[in-house]
């Protein structure tokens, strides 16, 4: 009797631990990325992250599909190139801050659907103060295809390495247009580039002359630092850079960095 009971206890214990292992493997698989992709935080945790499409501070006004965590995910070689940019900027007391990295194709579709839904401009008009949202697609500010979905594009800016964190975004606040003085726009501790991020306006064109000499200088600083590592800028958006091409597109969701991976890798 005691032998049979002991055997049953052993079986129960075995199945219990087998279930724990299966659960751990399932959780790891859910957080795993496709081959070639990494969390930027794993490669260089000193690069600031302000992932706007996982928040309400974006032109759609809500987190976009697929952004389940505010994490920058990119192809590994892109992350390593960003690490080199960051290292070069450090000598000048500067840091990169990323706004968007890999973008699931479901989010790209959601952007296009929002631009073409015919519902009027809505509360996010501050991102396109001089345009109707229905024109953003045709003008090249929103596209049905994006290098972001290949993991080879990033949206970013410069920030002083010693800059304090920006105040929290308040969805109830009446922030000024993205072309207004920096202090009047939504919170951002980045260096003033003349417009806010995702500002759909001619002033956001990389070589716009509608901004101050100081702001043009900072854009040139960012452009030069990124170009030195092979990144190409999109002329309508001072913040958008890509490198390489032809890697296909992806739609996996951006999930939190698994705890077992939360240490830098080389």
What does the pLDDT read at residue 2? 55
Q: What is the mean pLDDT of residues 110-124?
A: 91
What does the pLDDT read at residue 28? 39
187 near 166, Cβ under 8 Å? yes
> Among 202, 204, 200, 201, which Cα is nearest to 192's?
204
What does the pLDDT read at residue 11? 54
Give the phi and the psi of residue 35 in degrees, each rounded to 5: -55, 135
Write the pLDDT tens digit of every residue in 151-185: 999 999 999 999 999 999 999 999 999 999 999 99
Given a cut of 90, whether residue 7 has pLDDT beyond it is: no
Write the pLDDT tens digit of every residue in 13-59: 444 333 333 333 433 344 589 999 999 999 999 999 999 999 999 99
Two structure tokens written together for 223 = 């452009």
Q: What is the mean pLDDT of residues 215-223?
A: 98
> Among 223, 251, 253, which Cα is nearest to 238's?
223
Alpha helices, DSSP H, located in 37-179:
40-43, 76-90, 105-115
Q: What is the average pLDDT score of the chain?
A: 89
| Separation CA 173–CA 85 (nearest Å) | 35
| Separation CA 29–CA 154 (nearest Å) | 25
Q: Quick count: other Cβ atoms within 10 Å of Cβ 91?
A: 7
Q: What is the mean pLDDT of residues 86-95?
A: 97
Q: Which of the four CATH numbers 3.40.980.10, 3.40.50.300, 3.30.1380.10, 3.30.420.40 does domain 39-256 have?
A: 3.30.1380.10
- In sign, the C-alpha dihedral spanning 174, 178, 184, 186 is positive
Q: What is the mean pLDDT of residues 252-256?
A: 97
What does the pLDDT read at residue 16? 39
Q: How far is CA 247 from CA 23, 97, 244, 255, 263, in A?
A: 32, 25, 8, 21, 27
- Report the run of H or E that residue 8 belongs to, with start and end: helix 2-31
Domain ranges of the chain: 1-32, 39-256
What does the pLDDT read at residue 247? 81
Two structure tokens written together for 202 = 């001619």
| Separation CA 73–CA 81 (nearest Å) | 14
Which has the higher per-residue pLDDT, 5 or 28? Answer: 5
Residues above pLDDT 70, as percent of the chain = 86
Given a cut of 80, whether residue 3 has pLDDT beyond it is: no
Given a cut of 60, whether residue 6 has pLDDT beyond it is: no
What does the pLDDT read at residue 144? 87
What does the pLDDT read at residue 4? 56
Two structure tokens written together for 46 = 């000193």
Contacts (Cβ under 8 Å, ≥6 apart) of 147: 153, 242, 245
What does the pLDDT read at residue 117? 92
> What pTM does this model have?
0.86
Two structure tokens written together for 229 = 């590592």
What does the pLDDT read at residue 123? 87
């Amino acid at each position: 009797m005691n032998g049979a009971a002991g055997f049953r206890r052993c079986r129960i214990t075995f199945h219990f631990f087998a279930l724990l292992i299966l659960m751990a493997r399932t959780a790891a698989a859910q957080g795993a990325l496709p081959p070639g992709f990494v969390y930027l935080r794993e490669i260089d945790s000193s690069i600031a992250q302000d992932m706007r499409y996982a928040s309400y501070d974006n032109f759609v006004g809500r987190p976009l599909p697929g952004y389940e965590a505010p994490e920058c995910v990119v192809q590994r070689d892109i992350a390593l190139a960003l690490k080199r940019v960051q290292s070069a900027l450090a000598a000048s007391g500067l840091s990169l801050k990323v706004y968007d990295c890999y973008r699931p194709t479901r989010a790209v579709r959601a952007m296009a659907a929002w631009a073409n839904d015919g519902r009027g401009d809505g509360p996010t008009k501050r991102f396109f103060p001089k345009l109707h949202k229905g024109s953003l697609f045709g003008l090249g500010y929103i596209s049905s295809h994006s290098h972001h979905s290949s993991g080879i594009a990033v949206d970013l800016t410069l920030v002083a390495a010693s800059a304090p964190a920006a105040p929290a975004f308040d969805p109830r606040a009446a922030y000024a247009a993205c072309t207004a003085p920096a202090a009047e726009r939504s919170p951002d501790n980045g260096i003033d580039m003349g417009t806010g991020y995702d500002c759909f306006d001619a002033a956001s064109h990389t070589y716009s002359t509608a901004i101050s000499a100081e702001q043009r200088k900072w854009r040139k600083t960012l452009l030069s630092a990124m170009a030195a590592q092979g990144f190409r800028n999109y002329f309508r958006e001072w913040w958008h850079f890509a490198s390489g091409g032809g890697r296909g597109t992806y739609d996996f969701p951006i999930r939190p960095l698994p705890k077992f991976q939360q240490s830098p890798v080389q």
